[in-house]
Amino acid sequence: MSDIEKEKHSSDVEPRGLDFVDDRYGFDVHDTDKVQRRLQQRHVQMIAIAGTIGTGLFLGSGHALQGAGPLGALMAYALVGTVAYSSLCSIGEMTTHAPISGTFPHFAARWVDPAFGFAVGWNYFYTNCISTPVEVTAATILITFWDSDTNHAAIYTAVICVLVCAINIFGVRYFGESEFIFSLIKITLIISLLLAGLIIDLGGGPNHERIGFRFWKHPGALTGPGLVKNVNTDKFLGVLSVLIQAAFSFQGMELVAIAASETKSPRRNIAKAVRRVFYRILVFYILGIIMIGMLVAYDDPALLADTGTAAQSPFVIAIERAGVKVFPHIINAAIFTSAFSAGNSFLFCSSRILYGLALRGQAPRYLTWCTKKGLPLYAVLTAAAPVALSFMNVSAGAATVFNWFVNLSTTAGFTSWFAINLTYVFFHRGMKAQGFDLRKNVYNNRLQPYLAYWGIFWTVFFTLVNGFEVFFNFTAAGFFTSYINIPVFAILYFGYKIVKRTQVWKPHEMDFVTGIPSVEETEIPEEPPTNIWQKIGRFLF
């Protein structure tokens, strides 16, 4: 980067950016970015609240309870929740500064190293591409709650695949409306389950049996996977064993930032969404885990039934034990919409990441083509192709390979969170070095950059320990799915770095201006509410 000025500046100099432009990395793509801002405030807020909540919370929480006990599951979800929160705060501040296509892979290329952005972008694209068929398969399995005929599985899979792809092909407006409706259903379901669980726990069910914290005392608050003889060590390993399950439940929370380039008034709306995410984690995830730990014992035989339907949900198990019979069907239907919605969201994410990579010359150029309504059609169609992998689960032999993909997608999610937090550290350092006042950003968390350091530490820890169980009973497949993403990411990074001969950006070389729209260009003045309903809507959304 010999053409880049490399001068020493004091912290009180004027913010710089335009004079540090390096044309090789395509930062100024304002004229070629053709997506349009069609997502409304209510769409963004609902997506932020419940957009990517899927089967991980409703069904997977049972595996967490069984693997670590009520206290162990709570500890795992709380820890992963703090890491997810730190990641969202980091990406939220960077996105409100630069609400452009490409989101955090572009930020990584712009403020860390172009090679790092390339590796991050393709890693995240791959993660979401695999997550889409995972959720499609989950939705298909949920239908077996009513139709157990395995011969119909391929038909249901095909219908769900077509619907998920169609919503994304119709455009971002239809995606926003569908996610708004699905999010309402999910929020209604979660709140209903929490209230129903509390009523049952206090003895308000048909059998009037008061449960309280009975199961925290017997069989106990902690359990382990039985890997070592020492009981306390085994309980610690139990908490580690459910970290991956907890991470899958939180995966995709950054969707609201990825949609920034297609959101009206993105800076205001994303800032508002990020500020609310703490309460979302607290209410939906933490209270949810506490509730199931109160309702069901970790050694309950029903938790061993890996049906993939509402029958394995701890909430359904508790509700049926209390004597309520019709509720499980309603819950299964709602969880089905959650799985469908999550698949819909992951496809949206992967297509927009691919589009952003193409804009910066890190993916084939034809993927930048957009329709007159701003839909990156070729990127959507390319990202939709892996949805066909969901048919692998129809075949018994291919199902094993498909499960490998599931594990790979979850562990790759840790890499994305690591990249977000590391990029923020560089962003924070560069902004301060160039004289920007971080407090003047539309969104700024006073705990930064310590939140980002917290996220970096734990994502590295999760990545290293996520496959620890394989060392107690070694299998090549288990080791492969747990750790293959590390060398894959390294190959992407060093391969691009060697070919393109990129360098890590120094604080005074970072570009915080080029191609980034001003506040006046993106923000529409917020109209004050004129009646009670508008005031309620403003409070909720």
Per residue in 53-95, pLDDT (tens digit) is: 666 677 777 788 888 888 999 999 899 889 988 998 999 999 9
> 341-368: per-residue pLDDT in tens?
888 888 888 898 998 888 888 888 888 8
- Contact residues for 168 (Cβ-Cβ < 8 A; gap 6+): 175, 344, 347, 348, 351, 380, 384
- Check whether 399 has a pLDDT greater than 70: no
Q: Is the pLDDT of residue 3 over 70?
A: no
Confidence class for position 311, pLDDT limits 50, 70, 90: low
Residue 539's pLDDT is: 65
How many beta carbons lie within 10 A of that of residue 287, not counting itself?
15
Q: Which band of pLDDT confidence, cut at 50, 70 and 90, is reported for residue 10?
A: very low
Within 286-364, where are the H helices? Answer: 287-295, 314-321, 327-359
The amino acid at 429: R
Q: Who wins on pLDDT, 402 or 489? A: 489
Beta bridge partners of 263: 39
> pLDDT band for position 418 (50/70/90)?
very high
With a cut of 50, say whether residue 219 has pLDDT above it. Answer: yes
Range of weakest confidence among 48-62, 205-219, 322-336: 48-62
Over residues 206-214, mean pLDDT: 82
The pLDDT score that the predictor gives to residue 309 is: 58
Whether the CB-CB separation of 293 and 71 falls below 8 Å is answered with yes
- Residue 338 pLDDT more than 80? yes
Residue scoring higher pLDDT (398 or 465) = 465
Q: What is the pLDDT of residues 511-524, one digit of tens each?
A: 888 888 888 888 77
CA dihedral angle for residue 97, residue 99, residue 102, residue 108, rounded to 10 degrees: 10
For residue 515, is it left (φ>0), alpha (ψ between -120 and 50) or beta? left
Greater confidence (425 vs 522) lies with 425
Predicted pLDDT at 52: 59
Judged against a pLDDT cut of 60, whether residue 2 lies above it is answered with: no
Chain segment 363-389, per-residue pLDDT in tens? 888 888 888 888 888 999 999 998 888
pLDDT in tens, 151-163: 788 888 899 999 9
Q: What's the pTM?
A: 0.86
Mean pLDDT of the 115-127 span? 92
The percentage of residues in the chain with a pLDDT greater than 70, rounded to a whole number, is 85
Q: How confident is the model at residue 228 (pLDDT cuts 50, 70, 90)?
A: confident
At residue 31, does pLDDT exceed 60? no
**pLDDT for the residue numbered 87:** 92
Q: What is the average per-residue pLDDT within 468-495?
A: 87
- How many CB atoms sit inside 10 A of residue 329's CB? 13
Sign of CA dihedral 442, 443, 448, 449: negative
Q: How far apart are CA 223 and CA 298, in angstroms?
A: 8
Of 393, 391, 381, 388, which Cα lies nearest the Cα of 350? 381
* Alpha carbon distance 172, 18 (integer Å): 32
pLDDT at 496 over 60: yes
- Strands annotated E in 50-194: none
Mean pLDDT check: name the lowest of 77-81, 227-231, 527-531: 527-531
d(CA 108, CA 148): 47
Residue 232 vs residue 37, higher pLDDT: 232
Identify whether the C-beta of residue 340 lies closer than 8 Å to the C-beta of residue 164. Answer: yes
Vertex 277: Cα angle to 265 and 131 (nearest 5): 90
Considering the chain, what is the average pLDDT of its residues? 81
pLDDT at residue 150 tops 80 = no
Query: CA-to-CA distance for 527 and 335, rounded, in angstroms?
Result: 36
Q: Assess whether pLDDT exceeds 70 at residue 25.
A: no
- Which band of pLDDT confidence, cut at 50, 70 and 90, is reported for residue 302? confident
